């Protein structure tokens, strides 16, 4: 009888410990799933190349997410090609980055994403766009 009570107590404690572990894991999973942003890639002719909702972790930079989610090429730490669409340096056409509509002047590896951010990468003629000068 004493062994049965001990076994029952051990079994109940085991179930409680598993339930709390599951609860913590479920909360962590739900929190990570809530971290999403939308990234759009726009060509020089202002055509949408691709737009997608991406998930990210707190410690990931925009560049980390771009490397994971898109086919990109880097040169000296800067993105020079996204999904096969390349910048044209000799014509001063480069990838411009906008976060929630605001042009960014820092590199993608320095940008921390926030939930519901809208990211737009657009090939722009830096000689013609006043906002980029």
- CA–CA distance, 102 with 112 (Å, rounded to integer): 15
Residue 75 pLDDT > 60, yes or no?
Answer: yes
**What separation, in Å, do the N-terminal and C-terminal C-alpha atoms of the chain show?**
84
- CA–CA distance, 37 with 98 (Å, rounded to integer): 13
- Proportion of the chain above pLDDT 70, given as a percent: 71
Q: DSSP string of 69-123?
A: HS-EEEETTEEEEETTEE-BGGGTEEEEEEETTEE--S-GGGPBP-TT-EEEEEE
pLDDT category, 59, cuts 50, 70, 90? confident
Confidence (pTM): 0.71
Residue 23 pLDDT > 60, yes or no?
Answer: no
Residue 28 pLDDT > 80, yes or no?
Answer: no
**pLDDT tens per residue across span 77-130:** 899 999 999 999 999 999 999 999 999 999 999 999 999 999 999 999 998 866
> Structure tokens of 51?
């737009």
Residue 27 pLDDT > 50, yes or no?
Answer: yes
pLDDT average, residue stretch 33-55: 94
- Proportion of the chain above pLDDT 90, given as a percent: 66
pLDDT average, residue stretch 12-20: 48
Q: What is the pLDDT of residue 8?
A: 47
């Amino acid at each position: 009888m004493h062994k049965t009570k001990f076994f029952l107590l051990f079994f109940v404690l085991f179930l409680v410990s598993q339930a709390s572990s599951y609860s913590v894991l479920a909360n962590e999973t739900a929190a990570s799933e809530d971290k999403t942003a939308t990234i759009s890639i726009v060509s020089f002719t202002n055509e949408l190349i691709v737009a997608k909702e991406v998930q990210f972790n707190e410690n990931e930079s925009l560049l980390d997410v771009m490397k994971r989610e898109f086919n990109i090429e880097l040169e000296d730490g800067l993105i020079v090609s996204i999904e096969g669409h390349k910048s044209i340096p000799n014509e001063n056409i480069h990838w411009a980055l906008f976060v929630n509509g605001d042009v960014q002047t820092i590199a993608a590896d320095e940008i921390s994403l926030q939930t519901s951010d809208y990211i737009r990468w657009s090939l722009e003629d830096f000689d013609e766009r006043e906002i980029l000068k």
